[in-house]
Amino acid sequence: MSPQLLLKVDVCWAAIVGLCIMYPSQVVNYHARYQRMALEAGGPSCRARGMTMEAIFFPFLRKTSQRTTELLQVAESTWQRDRPSRSVGTH
């Protein structure tokens, strides 16, 4: 993973977290960018936290609880399979 890409991923994540509080409707654009960069970066924790955030959004978008459950299961298995030695919430 390149340091530049990881920095972009982290900045995008910070924007998502900040916007969730004040402007939740704006999060969708940043989340889509984050997901693309997380997949490109390849870090399991990046992918897992992106899927977790998406699962959090689903109830607000009136998506099924089954899809939310599936996303959380995939995120958990991704995290468990390639768990870094650092704490949860970091990569």
Element holding 70 (H helix, E strand): helix 65-81
88 inside domain: no
For the chain, the first-to-last Cα distance in angstroms comes to 11
Q: 84 or 62, which is more confident?
A: 62
91 inside domain: no
pLDDT tens per residue, range 5-35: 988 998 998 998 888 888 877 888 888 888 8
19 inside domain: yes
Q: Assess contact for 34 and 50: CB atoms under 8 A.
A: yes
pTM for this structure?
0.61
Sequence-ordered list of residues with C-beta below 8 angstroms from that of 20, at least 6 positions apart, any chain = 27
Angle (deg, nearest 10), helices 3-22 and 27-41: 160
43 inside domain: yes
What's the domain range around 15?
3-81
CA distance 37 to 16: 13
pLDDT tens per residue, range 35-51: 888 888 877 888 888 88
Tally the domains of the chain.
Answer: 1
10 inside domain: yes
90 inside domain: no
Sole residue written with tokens 């939310």: 68
**pLDDT reading at 3 higher than 80:** yes
